[in-house]
Amino acid sequence: MKKYTFIAAAMLPLILSCKMENPLLTESKLPFGAPQFDKIRNEHYMPAFEQGIAEAKAEIDAIANNPEAPSFENTIEAMEYSGETLDRVSSIFYNLMEADVNEQMQQIAEEVAPMLNDYSMYVSLNEKLFERVKAVYEQRDSLALEKDQLKLLENTYRSFTRNGANLQGEDREKYSRISEELSLTTLAFQKNLLAATNAYVLNITDSTKLDGLPAYVVDAAAESAAEKGLEGWAFTLDYPSYSPFMKYCNDRELRRQMYMAYGSRAVGGEYSNCENVSKIIDLRIQSAQLLGYRTYADYALEVRMAKDAGTVNKFLADLMNPSLPYARADVKMVEDFARKNGFEGDRLMGWDFSYWSEKLQKAEYDLSEELLKPYFKLENCIDAVFDLAHRLYGINFKVREDIPGYHKDVKVYEVTDEDGSHLALFYADFFPRPSKRGGAWMTEFRGQSIKDGVERRPFISIVTNFSKPTASTPSLITHYEFTTFLHEFGHALHGMLAEGRYGSLTGTSVARDFVELPSQIMENWGYEPEYLNTFAKHYQSGESIPMELIDKIVASKNYLSGYSQVRQLQFGLLDMAWHSLESLPQTDPVSFEKAALKPYEVMPGVAETAISPGFSHIFAGGYAAGYYSYKWAEVLEADAFSLFQEKGIFNTEVSHSFRENILSRGGSEDAAVLYRNFRGHDPEPEALMKKLGLSSK
> Active-site residue numbers?
488
- Give the integer Cα–Cα distance in Å for 270 and 278: 17
- Residue among 278, 123, 91 nearest 185 (CA): 278
Q: In this structure, are strands 202-204 and 233-235 parallel, antiparallel, or unpaired?
A: antiparallel
Are 694 and 326 in contact by the 8 Å Cβ rule? The answer is yes
Cα-based angle 684, 580, 122 (whole degrees, multiple of 5): 105
- Residue among 509, 481, 482 nearest 495 (CA): 509
3-state helix/strand/coil string of 9-63: HHHHHHHHHCHHHCCCCCCCCCHHHCCCCCCCCHHHHHHHHHHHHHHHHHHHHHH
Are 39 and 61 in contact by the 8 Å Cβ rule? The answer is no
Backbone angles phi, psi at 681, to 5 degrees: -160, 170
By the 10 Å C-beta count (0-12 exposed, 13-18 middle, 19+ buried), 257 is classed as middle
C-alpha pair distances (Å), 550 with each of 487, 649, 692: 20, 16, 18
Give me the sign of the Cα torsion angle 633, 639, 645, 647: negative
- Residue among 673, 676, 677, 694 nearest 685 (CA): 694
- Give the integer Cα–Cα distance in Å for 327 and 1: 42
Sequential DSSP letters for 654-681:
HHHHHIIIIITTTTSS-HHHHHHHHHSS
**417-451: string of b/e by CB count within 10 Å (b at 16+)?**
eeeeeebbbbbbbbbbeebbbbbbbbbbbbbbbee
How far is C-alpha 605 from the chain's CA centre?
A: 27
- Residue among 430, 120, 126 nearest 287 (CA): 120
Radius of gyration of the chain (CA): 25
- Residue among 697, 672, 667 nearest 683 (CA): 672
Q: Residue 454 pairs with which residues in a beta bridge?
A: 451
DSSP H or E stretch at residue 425: strand 422-429
H helix runs in 556-598, sequence order: 561-579, 589-597
Sequential DSSP letters for 431-476:
S--TTS-SS-EEEEEE--EEETTEEE--EEEEE--PPPP-SSS--B
Question: How crowded is residue 559: how many other Cβ atoms within 10 Å of its Cβ?
Answer: 17
Are 117 and 183 in contact by the 8 Å Cβ rule? The answer is yes
